[in-house]
Amino acid sequence: MEELRQKVIPIVIRRTLPNGDYQNIPIDQFQ
């Protein structure tokens, strides 16, 4: 998808932590 390549759409991974909280990690941290 062209929007992904241009980083127009922010994609965030929501990771659930063991204590029930969650952490949002932007996908651009993985590159």
What is the 3 state secondary structure string of 1-31?
A: CHHHHHCCCCCEEEEECCCCCEEEEEHHHHC
1: DSSP letter? -
pLDDT at 14: 94
The model's pTM is 0.45
pLDDT at 1: 67
Most distant CA pair in the chain, distance: 37
Token pair of 21 as six digits = 């909280």
Residue carrying the six token digits 């949002």: 24
pLDDT at 19: 96
pLDDT digits (tens, 9 = 90+) for 1-31: 676 677 677 789 999 999 999 999 988 777 6
